Amino acid sequence: MYSSITNIPYTICFCKAGEKILMLHRNRPPNQFLWNGVGGKIQEGETIEESLRREVLEETGLDVSHALDVRFVGVVSWMGARDPSNENRGMYAYVADFPAMVATNGIQETDEGKLEWKPIPWMLDHSNTAIAENIPYFLPRMLTTCSPAEYRCVYDDGVLTEFLIRPWKSSTIQT
């Protein structure tokens, strides 16, 4: 059941400022009406890093080149997705550390949904049904560990039934 990823077409970034992370309450699928990190599809001809920078800028107005640190933390992959065209895919995951003063209060409306700086403990709560359900499984390690990993989410009929972590080999990253 633990097969390799056949396609990694997406990026996701968790923009951190102090003890908060900028989250997007999505207007549309996937994870519609849930809070999630920001990111999206890698466009043809883009490197992973170019896609990450473009997506974060488009969705939040933040330029990751102004972050104190941007680090690749691994790949979140999944199988058993509701949409068969999205089966056995993944997203390159990054954490971008910004100065604490970047985090503001309030909600900002965007085309993609609502943006808000959320406290980290709120996001790591496994009983929090307002966020994408796999975030409390992978985000704690992403925030505290330097070594990238594959975070494999296995779904059965749209429900997360298994979560696996395995080392990520840097030679598999294509830029």
Q: Which domains does the chain have, with CATH numbers?
A: 7-101+111-170 (3.90.79.10)
Q: What is the mean pLDDT of residues 6-30?
A: 92
pLDDT at 170 over 70: no
| H helix or E strand, kind and range, residue 144 | helix 135-144
Per-residue pLDDT at 146: 81
Q: How many residues does the chain have?
A: 175
When the pLDDT of each residue in the chain is averaged and rounded to a whole number, the result is 88
pTM of the model: 0.90
Chain centroid to CA 120: 14
| Predicted local distance difference test score (pLDDT) of residue 173 | 44
Closest CA to 22 of 69, 65, 60: 60
Q: What is the mean pLDDT of residues 129-150?
A: 94
pLDDT at res. 85: 54
* Average pLDDT rounded to a whole number, residues 51-66: 96
pLDDT of residue 6: 54
Of 22, 19, 142, 156, give the one whose Cα is nearest residue 78: 156
